[in-house]
Structure 1
Amino acid sequence: MQTLEIEDLRVTLDCEGARQYRKVSYPVRYGLYSEISTPRFVYQFNRNGEVKFLQGRRDGWPHPAEWLKRTPGNDWLYYSAGEYAELHNLTGEFYLPCPSYASNALLGGDPFSQPAVRAALDSLGPLWKRLQRLATAGSPPEARKFLARAAQADGLCLRRRAQRLHEILGCRPSVLPPDARHADYDVLPVVVADGCAANCRFCRVKSGRAFRVRDRRDVLEQIEGIRDLFREDLVNYNSVFLGDHDALRAGPDMLESAALEAYERLGLARSRLAGANLFLFGSADTLACSSEALFERLDRLPFNTYINVGLESPDEESLKELGKPVSSAVVKEAFERMLDVNRHYSRIEVTANLVFGQGLPQGHLPAVSELLSTVPERTCVKGAAYLSPLVWGERPDGRERKRLLDAFRQIKFTSRLPVYLYLILRL
C-alpha cells in the first residue's frame, strides 16, 4: 500500500481489504482496491480502475457508516445501516442495499432523493476529468497508471462495460438469489438455461421465455467473455451465479461442467477471498424430482453450493391465485426434499422462497406458518426461508408496511428455520 498527496487528493494505491465475507455492523471492504479521498468524498476503485464505492465525508451525508456501491450492471446501491438489531433480524444482514430502481423493498426509504447522495453521484464527472489531467501531468510517476485507468473508466465506459456484460450473457439477469447476500452480491454470472418452466402469473422478474438449456459451447464462450471483461478484478471474486431462473433444471452434467469450467477459467482458486460459492435458483418441481446423483455431484464441487427454490405457498388456493402451475403436494414434497438435502450434504444448502402480501387467500399465512413451524429440530442446522413481499416500485404506506412486517414477524416467531425478507436485486 502506498499513499500519495496530489493537490487536494489523497491517493492510496493497492489497499488490502478483508479476505473473508463477514456479518458485521461496520463498513468492511474486501480484496484489493485503490482509493481517492477529497475533502468531500471517498472513492474506491476496483483493480480495473472502475469506481465501485463512494461515500460522503461531510455533515450532509446521511450516515457516516453508509455508502454507495456500483454493480457490474452499472446500478448504484445505497447501503443503509438503519437500526442494526432490527435490520439484522429482518434480513440477516447489518446493512440494507437500497436499489435505485423498482424492487420489492419494504425498508430503506429513498436515499437517492437526498441532496447529499445526488451530489456524490454528480461529483464523478468532474473527478474523471480531473484524473485525466493528472494522469498526463502533475502527478507522481507511480500513480499515473492508476489515474489513467480510473480516468478511462468514466461514465460512458462503465455503461458500455455493463452493456457488454449483458451481451456476453445473452440477457440481463433480473434477480439474484437471496443467498448471494453471503458474498455481498459480488458474483460472476454464467447463464446455463434461459427462461422458466413455470412463468408464474404473479412474478415480476420473469423473462417470459420458455425454458431452454444453453449448449456447452455457449457456456464456455460466456466464461471466456466474463474472464476478458473482469480481467484484473477477477481476484476480488470467489462466487459464481449459474443463471437464470431455474438452473437446477439444466441437469447434473451441465451444472457440473459449467461450475468446474468457471472455477478453472476464472481463476477462483487464486481469489483474494477465502472459499468459493456457487449460487443458483431451482423450482419446486425440479427439486422434488432431482436425483441423489445430482446432489452427490454438486457436493463434490470445489464450492459451497446454495440453491434457492421458489415454493411461494403451501396452500392450494393461494397457488392458483398466484398462477403457479404446481400443486400444494409438490410444494410440500420439495420442502421435505430441501430439509433432506440440507441434512445429508455438507457443502449444499437449499433455501426456500415464499410470498406474502395483499390479495392472497386467508389460508396462505396459516399454511406458511404450519409448514415452517413443524420442521423437526434435528434438520435445522442449515437452510432458511425468504419471504418476498408482493409489492413493487412504490413502498407501501405506513399502515400497510406495519401490517406486512407484523405478518412477517409472526411467521418468523413460530418458524424453526431462520426467516428473512427477500430483497430483489438485479445484475
Structure 2
Amino acid sequence: MNTVATAIDLRAIRAQFPVLDQEVNGKPLIYFDNAASSQTAKAVVDSLVQFYERDHANIHRGIHTLAERSTKGFEATRERVQQFINAGEADEIVFTKGTTESINLVAHSWATTFLKEGDEILISQLEHHSNIVPWQLAAERTGAVIKVIPINNVGEILQEEYKKLLSDKTKLVAVNYVSNSLGTINPVNEMIRSAHEVGATVLIDAAQASPHIKIDVQEMDCDFLALSSHKMYGPTGVGVLYGKRDLLEEMPPYQGGGEMIKDVSFNGTTYNDIPYKFEAGTPNIGEVIAFKYAMDFIDNIGHDVIKEYEHKLLMYANDKLRKIKGFTPIGTAKNKASVISFLIENVHPYDLGQLLDVRGIAVRTGHHCTQPLMDFLQIDGTVRASFAVYNTEEEIDVFCDALESIVKKFG
C-alpha cells in the first residue's frame, strides 16, 4: 500500500485517467511531466464528446435549442471559474487560449493604455518567457522600463530587494505564484500588498499554482490573474484572465471582430460589455464547457488534500533522489510545489530524458521556457520531474531505480 496515500483513494483517482493505463516502449507509463501539461480527466473527455456529438453550436447568437444549450454550458463554466478563484462576479472572468494569451491581453490593452515613458515594470528572475516577452514588447511600445527582481541561489525571490525596487515609478508588478522550473511558491499576498502601497497594479501568473493551491483573488487582492485549463486536468486551448471590474472597464479591446461589439457601422463601432469586449470571435466552446469538469475534479478531492499528498510525494522523491550518485537538485526553496529540477553529474539532461523515455518515464528536459533563470544559475537546463495527484510512491521508486541504472551505465 502507498504509505503517503492517507487521505485519497488513488485507485479511484487513477481510474479517471485512462491514459495512464498504457505501456510506452514496453513499460508501464509513468507520467512526470505535469508542470508542462497534466493529463485530462475522463469527465472532461466525456464532456467534449457530448458537446461535439450532441450540442455543437455557436454561442450567444442563436435562438435554437443547440445554441441555447451551448451558451448555457459556456456561461456555466464562467460562473464555475468565478467560484473556483472566488472572484467578485462572473463578469470579471475573461476566457482566453491560455495563460500566455491572458498576459498578452493585459500587456497590449492595459499597458499600452496606461504606461508611459519612464514608468517601471517589475518582473522576477523566476518568470516563464510568457511573463517576460509580452512586457518587453509593451516596454518597446510605451517607453516603460523593465526591472528584474533578484532571487537567491535556492530560487527564492529576495523580498527586501523587491521592496527596494518599488517606487512611485512602479506601475506594474508581474510575477508567478509558483515557478514552473523550480517549484518555488512565492509569497504573492505579501508582494501584492507591497506593490499596492506604491500604487502599482499587480498581475499574478497562476498557471502552475492553480492545480496545487487554493486561489482566492479577493483575499489576494491581485488586479489580474492568469491561468490555464491544461495545467488543471482540463483541455488545451482554454485559459482565464481574471481582472478587477474597474480595470477591465477602462481597458480597450484586445482584438476586433464578432462578439466584442454592440453596434458596427462604417462610421464607428461601440464595444460590448465586459467580459465579452475581450472575447472576439468564436471561442473553444466545447473545451470551455469541459473545463468545468476539471475544476469539479479538483474541488471534489480538495486543494488541501491535493497539496498535502503532492508534498508528501515531493519529500519522498527528494529523500530517494539525494542518494543517487551525482544527483544535484536545482532549486531548493523552503516553500515548494511538487516539482524537482535536477542534474546528474556527467550525464546531459537530454540524454537522461531519452533514456528515461525508453523506460516509459516521461520527464521534461531543457530550459523550461526560463532561459534568464538558467543563465542566472549558470546552467543550460535541467531534468524536471513534476508530480500530480494521480502519481504514486511506487512510480517514484521505478524512476529512481531507472536513474541509478543510467548513472551506472555512464560510469
Give yes or no for TM over 0.5: no
The structure, 1 or 2, with the larger RCO (C-alpha pairs under 8 Å, 6+ apart) is 2
Give me the TM-score of the superposition, normalised by structure 2. 0.29
